[in-house]
């Protein structure tokens, strides 16, 4: 597929698509073959402030739109996503290198998210609260926080944006979206989609750019919420900036997730589960099962089987049906991954397969890294402690349940984890002890619109998806009414 010449890469601010200043541009490059895909605006701080102002102005009326009407527009948005799923998937695959069959799934999963939260839009009721005094009436209202800044990563733009935009719109917020400059094209396409769906001007705004745009967006005190998906370092910087502005933040950051295989696991399911956990999407997911913990009694056999599968993974053009793993998202990302591999070799980890960027049969000019498996990895080593965000697996052996839990919890992260076992009592015991926002059992990388997602420790805080996500975009107002006819002492506080 070639990118259509009609693709509009301009930003969306208050319903307008401002022309791109030739002096402030960023290039978008395909990781598949290094081809130039287009030019986007490197927004100035003033343009970002204009976008926030447009969202603030639109909020005055959007907050009064009944939930049933917000839901209607969201269902229409989902209809368009489903109608255009193939072209959006093709665009995203060209932009970030993910397998086409995965981006197809993510386009439809995004639509499911909008439908799920559309179902909540007209159900945001408060509660009546009985107080100690008979002659008072107290109730709560759940109201939108206002303008939300939604900042997404390059690895799954459509899905990550739906995780944020769907609950924000359902809650009655207006938004300013900033996609990663590495893979912004499907987000910019959303500018056309929200217009076709009928959203009022200014409800959805999209800015693109680098550091200046990011700082201007996250430092603005007019925001009611910032939701960010990305690296720990950037998340920490956003948290510090937002603290100065007293803006609450939802952070979905990195992970170093442990996939734990016990000796009673169904190995015919666990082997492909371990492979999918790390090599699906080229390991470029925050939930990647990048640490494989295997019971000592089955360790050698199991790890050898995983390495054999990894050797046979077909790399190439992610649009081809035969391809099982595409490129990583950028040349810089490729170099970072290869540097981590060299570091692991220097630390004494034993390389079982992979370890280089040279891939036979891969697309010329693409940013490829071989599926890589290390054994005998020290749980305290950088490979076991630091997120690689690439197709690199560290394997560990354990002897007891307690040892597995200790190794699994022994990082600064706490996003996801996996347990492979037929013992239901063990599953519940271990799931209770794992310090992670998600625990998968006898599966991995399963997502659902209804299931809350988020991390603990340096993996972030707050939740996306599930009914819990809409709370990120709402605040509670308490209303207390004195029903008595008494004249109160103005200097006394009634309790």
Residues acting as catalytic residues: 252, 286
CA neighbor of 95 nearest in space, from 208, 173, 195: 208
d(CA 91, CA 188): 11
CB 142 within 8 A of CB 123: no
DSSP 8-state class, residue 280? G
In 172-298, which residue ranges form alpha helices assigned H by DSSP?
Answer: 185-197, 211-218, 232-245, 267-279
Q: Which among 441, 418, 413, 438 has a CA at the least distance from the CA of 256?
A: 413
Between CA 436 and CA 414 the distance in angstroms is 4
Q: What does the chain come to in residues?
A: 495
Q: Which residue has the tokens 């803006």?
A: 247
Q: Could you tell me which of 455, 303, 291 has the C-alpha nearest to residue 380?
A: 291
Tell me how far apart the terminal alpha carbons of the chain are, to the nearest angstrom.
69
Q: Residue 27: beta bridge partners?
A: 39
CA distance 258 to 290: 7
3-state DSSP call for residue 362? coil
């Amino acid at each position: 597929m070639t990118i259509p010449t009609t693709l509009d890469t301009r930003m969306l601010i208050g319903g307008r698509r401002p022309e791109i200043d030739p002096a402030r541009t960023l290039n978008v490059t395909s990781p598949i073959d290094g081809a130039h895909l287009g030019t986007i605006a490197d927004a100035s701080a003033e343009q970002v402030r204009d976008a926030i102002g447009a969202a603030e102005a639109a909020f005055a009326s959007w907050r009064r739109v009944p939930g049933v009407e917000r839901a209607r527009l969201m269902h229409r948005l989902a209809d368009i996503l489903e109608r255009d799923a193939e072209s959006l998937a093709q665009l995203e695959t060209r932009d970030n290198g993910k397998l086409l069959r995965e981006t197809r799934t993510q386009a439809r999963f995004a639509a499911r998210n909008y439908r799920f939260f559309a179902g909540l839009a007209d159900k945001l009721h408060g509660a009546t609260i009985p107080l100690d005094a008979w002659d008072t009436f107290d109730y709560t209202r759940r109201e939108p926080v206002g303008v939300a800044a939604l900042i997404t990563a390059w690895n799954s733009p459509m899905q990550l944006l739906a995780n944020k935009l769907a609950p924000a719109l359902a809650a009655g917020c207006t938004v300013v979206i900033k996609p990663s400059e590495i893979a912004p094209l499907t987000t910019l396409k959303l500018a056309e989609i929200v217009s076709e769906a009928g959203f009022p001007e200014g409800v959805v705004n999209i800015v693109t750019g680098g550091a200046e745009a990011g700082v201007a967006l996250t430092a603005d005190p007019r925001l009611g919420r910032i939701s960010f998906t990305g690296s720990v370092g950037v998340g920490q910087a956003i948290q510090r900036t937002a603290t100065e502005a007293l803006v609450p933040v939802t952070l979905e950051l990195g992970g170093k997730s442990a996939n734990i295989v016990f000796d009673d696991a169904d190995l015919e399911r666990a082997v492909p589960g371990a492979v999918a956990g790390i090599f699906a999407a080229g390991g470029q997911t925050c939930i990647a099962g990048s640490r494989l913990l295997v019971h000592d009694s089955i360790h050698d056999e199991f790890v050898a089987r995983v390495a054999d599968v990894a050797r046979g993974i077909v790399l190439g053009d992610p649009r081809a049906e035969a391809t099982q793993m595409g490129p990583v998202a950028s040349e810089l990302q490729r170099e970072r991954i290869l540097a981590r591999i060299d570091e692991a070799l220097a630390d004494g980890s034993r390389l079982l397969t992979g370890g280089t960027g040279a891939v036979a049969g891969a697309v010329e000019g693409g940013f490829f890294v071989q599926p890589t498996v290390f054994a005998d990895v020290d749980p305290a080593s950088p490979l076991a402690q630091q997120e690689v965000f690439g197709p690199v697996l560290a394997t560990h052996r354990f002897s007891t349940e307690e040892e597995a839990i200790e190794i699994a919890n022994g990082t600064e992260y706490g996003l996801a984890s996996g347990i492979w076992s037929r013992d239901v009592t063990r599953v519940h015991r271990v799931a209770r002890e794992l310090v992670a926002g998600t625990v998968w059992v006898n599966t991995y990388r399963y997502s659902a619109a209804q299931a809350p997602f988020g991390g603990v420790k340096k993996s972030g805080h707050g939740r996306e998806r599930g009914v819990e996500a809409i709370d990120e975009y709402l605040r509670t107002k308490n209303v207390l009414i004195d029903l008595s006819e008494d004249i109160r002492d103005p200097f006394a506080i009634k309790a």
